[in-house]
Amino acid sequence: MNSTNESTNSGPVSGLLAWAEVQEHYDRVRESHLRELFADDPARVERMTLDVVGIHADLSKHRIDEASLSSLIELAEQRDLRTRIDEMFTGVHINTTENRAVLHTALRLPRGESLIVDGVDVAAQVHAVLDQMGSFADRVRSGEWTGSTGKPIRAVVNIGIGGSDLGPVMAYRALRHVSKRDVQFRFVSNIDGTDIVESTHDLDAAETLFIVSSKTFTTQETITNAESARSWLLAQLGSDADVAKHFVAVSTNADAVQSFGIDTKNMFGFWDWVGGRYSMDSAIGLSLMLAVGPDAFEDMLAGFHAMDEHFRYADFDGNLPVLMGLLGVWYRDFFNYQTQVVLPYEQYLDRFPAYLQQLTMESNGKSVTHDGTPVGVDTSAIWWGEPGTNGQHSFYQLLHQGTSISPADFIMFVQPVNDIGDHHDKLIANVLAQANVMAFGRNDDELRAAGTAEDLVEHKVMPGDRPSTTLMLDRLTPYALGTLISLYEHVVFTQGVIWGVDSFDQWGVELGKAMAGQLLPALSADDVPDLSGFDSSTAHLAMRYRQLRGR
């Protein structure tokens, strides 16, 4: 093997000496069931539990021992993770294919701190926009800002997609319990006309504010939805209505905002060093701030920042994002587990798995390293999930007895937001039970001892040895939410560094967009289009569509 001890983040990770050592540990540890790992090490839970900025993280139910975990940490050292972290936090252009800094951590620097990047104090810029957002949010929330007829705003509709939608809608849903309940919040993303129609059909335009959220302000879905929103508004309020009272923009593209007809004084800016999927705590979170208010938004930023500091400075052996990131590599590349499931036992986090799907898979669903050579090992797992306990009545069967193994992240809160009856104790009993059964299962001897009919024993065997992390937090506050999101951002970062990929580009989504752009005129043209440039299947489907639409 072409092994080297040198620190490097380019080229295949499998060439590192530490990779071979991790492989050796895997060959050993794979033979031990979690039952044995627990039996052999009475101090295991204590040793493998971390308390990090309000998150009590139990990593003991992982198929790993001390020596193998140390080899993974050595891998991170050899991949120079520490330097890469410093580079991210200080504004080095680590998004190499787009030649950009990656500074979402600057979005949550405390007021008064400064961070000079390329000669500019980006922290001061961030706080200037936060102040602009805060005073706008106060005006809307107090009723001082009114629509064109003088009515206060009772509905806020965020129009955006991908990174300009998933974060805001996830966080809004997570923090509904601290939101302004007399204002409705809606999120429109899909180009499917149903989305904008269903999101506006019961609203009074005179009381509605649209936030058009788009970093580029060129995204087809968002601009199309924004145009339809404007038509809907004018249809209700008359063509001479003051549209500026009902539309604000969040963007980096002032020219495009202006040409859409939105007053740039009602535009909230951010910067090219904020990636879409890392932008929910920038001005892209304006809808969230309108919902929860500037103070709660600031609390959330403080949570983000606390986790940032932990990630930046904690030793790797006590660094939660690093350890969770390395465990992901361990399972993906050595155990060959292909998916990772996220199971929040908190209804308010119902969109958290969807949010994480973009964060993880758009970041690390890559096949080449920074220098364009093949990664050579498997990269991002497929992430998925649903809130508990709903999933227990559907796909958990596969988690427990299926032939594919999905490591799970269980997320739970000690204090219920809605403390009614014994709902919460029942919820917690379920999450603890599921993690227990995944790890330890039931073997045939135990089933027989419990009197199970012989012909059902094999059906009821629960193999166990299915790993999970349990994250226990006190209560779902804005601060706690910030820590959780930041945790996963840095898990993704850690894994991207190990694999040597650019976690901040997304070239894989471009070709489909370009192809849709080429097909659109062919679908709507009056004359029979020339589809000879397309494959016969696409051409056939396009022609059938035209025919059935009477074209």
In whole angstroms, what is the distance from residue 283 CA to residue 288 CA?
10
Closer Cβ to ligand G6Q, 219 or 470, answer by number: 219
Closer Cβ to ligand G6Q, 275 or 293, answer by number: 275
User: What does DSSP assign to residue 416?
Assistant: -
In whole angstroms, what is the distance from residue 63 CA to residue 70 CA?
14
Instruction: Rule CB under 6 A: choose which of 71, 78, 219, 468 binds ligand G6Q.
Output: 219
**Residue 513 bears catalytic tag:** yes
Per CB under 6 A, which region of 43-51, 270-278, 405-413, 462-470 contacts ligand G6Q? 270-278
Determine, following the binding rule CB under 6 A, whether residue 282 of this chain makes contact with ligand G6Q: no
Per CB under 6 A, which region of 158-166, 295-303, 490-498, 540-548 contacts ligand G6Q? 158-166
Question: What residues contact residue 239 under an 8 Å CB cut-off, 6+ apart?
Answer: none
Min. distance of Cβ 219 from ligand G6Q in angstroms?
3
Min. distance of Cβ 518 from ligand G6Q in angstroms?
18
Closer Cβ to ligand G6Q, 275 or 500, answer by number: 275
Centroid of chain to Cα 538: 32
Closer Cβ to ligand G6Q, 22 or 106, answer by number: 106
Instruction: Rule CB under 6 A: choose which of 61, 104, 215, 310 binds ligand G6Q.
Output: 215
Determine, following the binding rule CB under 6 A, whether residue 164 of this chain makes contact with ligand G6Q: yes
In whole angstroms, what is the distance from residue 436 CA to residue 414 CA?
18
Centroid of chain to Cα 534: 35
Determine, following the binding rule CB under 6 A, whether residue 340 of this chain makes contact with ligand G6Q: no
Closer Cβ to ligand G6Q, 161 or 169, answer by number: 161
Strands 155-159 and 208-213: parallel
In whole angstroms, what is the distance from residue 431 CA to residue 345 CA?
7
**Residue 33 bears catalytic tag:** no
Strands 55-58 and 468-473: antiparallel
User: What does DSSP assign to residue 1?
Assistant: -
3-state helix, strand, coil in the chain (%, to 5): 55, 10, 35
Closer Cβ to ligand G6Q, 279 or 434, answer by number: 279
Determine, following the binding rule CB under 6 A, whether residue 158 of this chain makes contact with ligand G6Q: no
Residue nearest to ligand G6Q (CB): 162
Instruction: Tell me, residue by residue from 451 to 470, as one string, x for binding to ligand G6Q by CB under 6 A and - for no binding.
Output: --------------------
Instruction: Rule CB under 6 A: choose which of 276, 344, 387, 482 binds ligand G6Q.
Output: 276
Which residue's structure tokens are 């849903």? 173
Per CB under 6 A, which region of 54-62, 137-145, 269-277, 477-485 contacts ligand G6Q? 269-277
Determine, following the binding rule CB under 6 A, whether residue 167 of this chain makes contact with ligand G6Q: no
Catalytic annotation, pick one of 6, 201, 265, 393 = 393
Distances (CA, A) of 245 to 102, 204, 214, 262: 34, 14, 19, 9
Min. distance of Cβ 221 from ligand G6Q in angstroms?
8
Residues 359-378 that bind ligand G6Q (CB under 6 A): 362
Structure tokens at 148: 């064109």
Per CB under 6 A, which region of 2-10, 209-217, 395-403, 455-463 contacts ligand G6Q? 209-217
Closest CA to 214 of 186, 189, 250: 250
Region of residue 80 (phi > 0: left; psi between -120 and 50: alpha; otherwise: beta): left
Catalytic annotation, pick one of 21, 346, 362, 489 = 362
Closer Cβ to ligand G6Q, 413 or 499, answer by number: 499
Closer Cβ to ligand G6Q, 101 or 296, answer by number: 101
Determine, following the binding rule CB under 6 A, whether residue 409 of this chain makes contact with ligand G6Q: no
In whole angstroms, what is the distance from residue 428 CA to residue 436 CA?
12
Tell me the angle at which helices 320-329 and 66-78 cross, rounded to the nearest 10 degrees. 100
Closer Cβ to ligand G6Q, 71 or 251, answer by number: 251
In whole angstroms, what is the distance from residue 490 CA to residue 325 CA?
8
**C-beta atoms surrounding 324 within 10 Å:** 23
Determine, following the binding rule CB under 6 A, whether residue 214 of this chain makes contact with ligand G6Q: yes
Closer Cβ to ligand G6Q, 71 or 358, answer by number: 358
Determine, following the binding rule CB under 6 A, whether residue 379 of this chain makes contact with ligand G6Q: no
Q: Which residues pair with 159 in a beta bridge?
A: 188, 212
In 93-199 the beta strands, taken as DSSP E runs, fall at 116-117, 120-121, 155-159, 184-188
In whole angstroms, what is the distance from residue 10 CA to residue 16 CA?
11
Determine, following the binding rule CB under 6 A, whether residue 163 of this chain makes contact with ligand G6Q: yes
CA R_g for the chain: 25
Min. distance of Cβ 504 from ligand G6Q in angstroms?
8
Determine, following the binding rule CB under 6 A, whether residue 287 of this chain makes contact with ligand G6Q: no
**C-beta atoms surrounding 221 within 10 Å:** 21
Using CA of residue 253, residue 256, residue 258, residue 263, what is the dihedral sign? negative
Per CB under 6 A, which region of 77-85, 116-124, 212-220, 413-421 contacts ligand G6Q? 212-220
Instruction: Rule CB under 6 A: choose which of 506, 519, 529, 531 binds ligand G6Q.
Output: 506
Catalytic annotation, pick one of 423, 426, 459, 513 = 513
Q: HSE (CB half, 13 Å, CA atoms) of 271? A: 22
> What's the maximum distance between 2 C-alpha atoms anywhere in the chain?
80
| Chain residues that interact with ligand G6Q, rule: CB under 6 A | 161-164, 214-216, 219, 222, 275-277, 362, 506
Q: Which residues are catalytic?
A: 362, 393, 513
